[in-house]
Amino acid sequence: MAIRYIRPVRFCDTPIGLADGEAARLAGGLQWFTAYEVVGDADRETLGLAAFERKHGADPRAVALHAAVTRARAPLAMGGRTIRLDQPQVVGILNVTPDSFSDGGAHAGDPAAAAAAGSAMAEAGAAIVDLGGESTRPGAQTVWEEDEAARTVPVVERLATAGVAVSIDTRKARVMEAALAAGAGAVNDVSALSWDQRSAAVCARAACPVILMHSPDPAEGGHGRVTYGDVVGDVFAWLEARVAAAVAAGIDRARIVVDPGIGFGKSLSDNLQLLNGLAAFHALGCAVMLGASRKRLIGALSNEAPVGERLGGSVALALRGAEAGVQLLRVHDVPETVQAIRVWRGLRDRALVG
């Protein structure tokens, strides 16, 4: 079998009581697993870890993928802040666009109010505030880079001065440069550094964390629809190539985060398969971000609930991500998600429940 990817399965609460080698820690986090789903071009099989080692231990790709799955993720250094990746962290979404799908432009044109909203997210427990000045909803107009920088930089300055870890959500190298100079500590690019030819060099020079998101047509906005053979495998392969390109451009793999791009050029079925297959993306050897908050799939599964009535579904998807070992959960509803993750962690704390 030529292996395309492996997905950790058969999770367990603790390795206590199991023989050596029967369980492995997922990416140095809170989750343990005891088997892999091994996926090739035409077949797949589920193997316990010992059986996986016996069958594929001489395969260089299998060895590399297993090492990537089990390697602890280094913390993200964002200016003066350090973001641990041995536990799920909440990333708050802050938009300063007039056409955001989620808040209708509530913070557009008012940097002070936007910064206050971002500070409130941090106070509520968000490890990072992700600031965007251009909508990425289907049909949104492209914003001139200077206008996007003018929207975001004053907010970055205020948040950075307040000690908040900020990532800049942009596809444009000019905006990246301006935001990083103003105090942003990371770049979140929905095009995975493929929209602007200068973006990879900007991020490499800044030595900052970079979030690479999958979409089928990043140069055109990310919402083209394609037919996937195996959506998990296809997205995995695409992200694997973008990670390799970023590393070749001088970006340290330890600073790269991958995002499967829920809702970008994907059907409801595609999105659900990705959510159920999230653990596979740990085999890229990078931290994983999940951005499913308030997405259309929640409405599709709950009587077409409008954007403002998708809190329950958003929290459910965040918990799904935590169960799959996702390190960064990008959400609109920070206090509710932080509370849910704290309770989830409490349920797993052996000191509390043992």
Which residues are identified as catalytic? 295, 330
Question: Is 323 strand, coil or helix?
Answer: helix
Nearest to 92 by CA among 347, 337, 350: 337
Residue type at position 146: E
Helices (H), the chain: 49-56, 60-70, 111-123, 145-161, 173-182, 199-206, 231-248, 268-276, 296-301, 311-323, 334-348, 350-353
Token pair belonging to 235: 């997205």
Q: What are phi and psi of 76, to 5 degrees?
A: -90, 125
d(CA 278, CA 61): 20
- In degrees and rounded to multiples of 5, residue 285 shows phi and psi of 80, 15
CA distance 337 to 130: 15
Tell how many helices (H) and how many strands (E) occur in the chain.
Answer: 12, 14
Cα–Cα distance measured from residue 45 to residue 36, given in angstroms and rounded to the nearest whole number: 8
- Phi, psi for residue 239 in degrees, rounded to 5: -70, -35
Which amino acid, one-letter code, is at 241?
Answer: A
Which residues partner with 33 through β-bridges? Answer: 11, 24
State the residue for tokens 């190539």: 241
CA distance 104 to 83: 30
Question: Of 291, 267, 294, 293, which Cα lies nearest the Cα of 281?
Answer: 291
Nearest to 30 by CA among 18, 8, 12: 12
